[in-house]
Chain A
Amino acid sequence: MLKVDSINVYYGGIHALKGVSLEVREGEIVTLIGANGAGKSTTLRTISGLIKPKNGQIEFEGKNITGVPAHHIVSLGISQVPEGRRVFANMSVLENLELGAYLRQDAKGVEADMAQVFERFPRLAERKSQLAGTLSGGEQQMLAMGRALMSRPRLLLLDEPSMGLAPLLVKEIFAIIKDINAGGTTILLVEQNANMALSIADTAYVLETGRITLSGTAKELSQSEAIRKAYLGG
């Protein structure tokens, strides 16, 4: 479904991604794990068009999408939940979700999807008219995910959904991710919390200072000695 082929990304003189390649197959949860500053978010932002790679190619459903601007990527069926949630703080929960469906013309479908989001996140339904900035961290994460789902993506990019959340909430969020995937949405998940990420993913990639150093099924990686030492705490 998504094929990233040896992309190189620079921030000014800093070589952030050094020939990163990865593949996401339809229906999978793929996770990209790694330490701070390894380039995980950069990879996601390059896929979603917020950053342009210097060279290399990104292919989505057989189409070359390298360098396509971000607002156009959404219409192709890729939706991103940005790092740190980034909800529209001064807008209500409802308005946030409506913006998620910004590119859609089918009012009926949007309404149905809205109902589905509220079913999946009952907490958001309770807080429909509350300003998004006044929600708790976990609720904001749910809103950011719900908002991304409103564009009815085929591929959902999640950037550190566990960031800054209590362990219990992290569990809840990951259960929801699994559930979204079961509903037919392919997921590319970027995480620092390798343990949680590997527990729900099918395939995993390990990113270290801009390079993919390991890849395999999530099961293989979670049993690998090197991974356990570096990311899973022994």
Chain B
Amino acid sequence: MRDLTKRDLLSLAACLVIYAAVQGLITLDVIGPFWQLNIVLICINIILAVSLNLINGFTGQFSIGHAGFMAVGAYLSAVMTVKLQLPFPVAIAAGAVAAGVLGFIIGLPTLRLKGDYLAIATLGLGEIIRITILNIPYVGGASGFMGIPRYTNFTWVFLLMVFTVFVIKNFINSSHGRACISVRENEIAAEAMGVDTTKYKVLAFTLGAAFAGVAGALFSHYFYIAHPASFTFMRSFDILTMVVLGGLGSISGSITGAILLTFISAALASYPEWRMVIYSIALIVLMLYRPQGLFGNKELSLKMFSRVTGGGQRGAA
């Protein structure tokens, strides 16, 4: 137990150092607007990838409708700040709750499906959400919801990213998380052990959707606009790619995947015609040589380094 708190403090200190360093560089104008934008995007993508990993990687439910939940958070939070003049934190919370509730309602019936069937159902649901929004004039319809104030800054995204990772990591390490992983490993055996599999599938789905809502709220309040075209299934695939690239079932993997892919996208911004080609080749190479993703289902830890350098034993965990 003491070991755990010590490690938590260490991670907290690391977060503070990273925050101070980046914030410092932004204030000193070393990081220009282009990279500022990408740093914000990285943080938002980490929130999306880690929350999707909870559903796809840890609970083993193949969902590709994450952009839909993100859209709900983006639009609802915008309605809160623009139309109802409510403060930003309230808007974020409302976006998260709305996306979570929707995740719950959608999850109950669809999570009875497995594998490819669930993937198709979630893909369809993501599109339904987008097209529904597209047809609501109150939120701008096809031209998008404009005039959203830019409340999101580096402090907000960083804070909420750390919060997301912290919550999901602790959830995974709790007995609830164990139950989710047992569902992924073998649903029948899990049920036979007394795990309420439906409950945990829906719980993971709801929690994942809620954090996608948070990411959506941050997204729309950074780009001044929420547009239906931002939430097509291509975005869901982008998030899924980050998760698979990093490793299904690894939080540090999702973080790495999100950083890497956002960075690659940004670096290739001046060659838009090559972007998707390189992106795709990277994925094909990865699937050929490392199908389990960069991290597999392991977490990045100091132990990993000691193993590489020769010492260290496989932890009993």
Are the CB atoms of B197 and A71 closer together than 8 Å? yes
Are the CB atoms of B192 and A98 closer together than 8 Å? no
Which of A74, A90, A91, A94 is the one whose CB lies under 8 Å from B192?
Answer: A74
Are the CB atoms of B185 and A70 closer together than 8 Å? no
Which of B14-22, B95-103, B173-181, B264-272 sits within the interface?
B173-181
Interface string of A67-105 (1 = CB under 8 A from B): 001111111000110100011111110110011101100
> 8 Å CB contacts to B: which residues of A131-168?
147-148, 151
Are the CB atoms of B189 and A70 closer together than 8 Å? no
Q: Is B143 an interface residue (CB 8 A)?
A: no
Are the CB atoms of A69 and B185 closer together than 8 Å? no
Interface centre among A69, A87, A88, A89 (most CB of B within 10 A): A88
> 8 Å CB contacts to A: which residues of B39-75?
none
Q: Is A203 an interface residue (CB 8 A)?
A: no
Are the CB atoms of B181 and A91 closer together than 8 Å? yes
A91 to B197, CA, bound (A): 18
Q: Is B276 an interface residue (CB 8 A)?
A: no
Contact-size category for A = 20 to 34
Are the CB atoms of B192 and A79 closer together than 8 Å? yes
Are the CB atoms of B193 and A90 closer together than 8 Å? no
Interface centre among A102, A103, A128 (most CB of B within 10 A): A102
A70: which B residues are within 8 A, CB to CB?
A: 191-192, 194
Are the CB atoms of A86 and B188 closer together than 8 Å? yes
Interface string of B193-210 (1 = CB under 8 A from A): 111110000000000000
A128: which B residues are within 8 A, CB to CB?
A: 316
Which of A73, A86, A98 is the one whose CB lies under 8 Å from B189?
Answer: A86
Interface string of B282-307 (1 = CB under 8 A from A): 00000000000000010000000000
Are the CB atoms of A87 and B189 closer together than 8 Å? yes
Q: Is B281 an interface residue (CB 8 A)?
A: no
Are the CB atoms of B316 and A88 closer together than 8 Å? no
> 8 Å CB contacts to B: which residues of A8-24?
none
Are the CB atoms of A100 and B186 closer together than 8 Å? no
Are the CB atoms of A75 and B194 closer together than 8 Å? yes
Q: Is B2 an interface residue (CB 8 A)?
A: no
Are the CB atoms of A102 and B185 closer together than 8 Å? no
B190: which A residues are within 8 A, CB to CB?
A: 88, 99
Q: Is A199 an interface residue (CB 8 A)?
A: no
Q: Is A48 an interface residue (CB 8 A)?
A: yes
Are the CB atoms of B194 and A129 closer together than 8 Å? no
| Given A88-B182, A88-B185, A90-B185, also A102-B193 (CB < 8 A) | yes
Interface centre among A50, A79, A82 (most CB of B within 10 A): A82
Are the CB atoms of B178 and A48 closer together than 8 Å? no
A136 to B185, CA, bound (A): 18
| Given A91-B181, A129-B314, A129-B316, also A103-B186 (CB < 8 A) | no
Q: Which residue of A lies closest to B314 (CB)?
A: A129
B28: which A residues are within 8 A, CB to CB?
A: none
A90: which B residues are within 8 A, CB to CB?
A: 185, 297
A80 to B190, CA, bound (A): 11
Which of A91, A92, A95, A103 is the one whose CB lies under 8 Å from B194?
Answer: A103
Are the CB atoms of B186 and A102 closer together than 8 Å? no
| Given A99-B178, A102-B178, A129-B314, also A89-B193 (CB < 8 A) | no
Which of B193, B196, B197, B297 is the one whose CB lies under 8 Å from A99?
Answer: B193
Are the CB atoms of A99 and B192 closer together than 8 Å? no
Which of A50, A98, A129, A147 is the one whose CB lies under 8 Å from B191?
Answer: A50
Are the CB atoms of B193 and A100 closer together than 8 Å? yes
Which B residues are within 8 Å of any A CB, using their own CB? 175, 178-179, 181-182, 185-186, 188-197, 297, 314-317
Contacts A/B (CB < 8 Å), 26 sampled: A50-B191, A70-B191, A70-B192, A70-B194, A71-B191, A71-B195, A72-B194, A74-B194, A82-B188, A82-B192, A86-B189, A87-B189, A88-B181, A89-B186, A90-B297, A91-B181, A91-B185, A95-B317, A98-B178, A99-B178, A99-B182, A102-B182, A102-B193, A102-B194, A102-B195, A103-B193
Which A-B residue pairs are the 4 nearest by beta carbons?
A74-B194, A88-B185, A86-B189, A103-B194
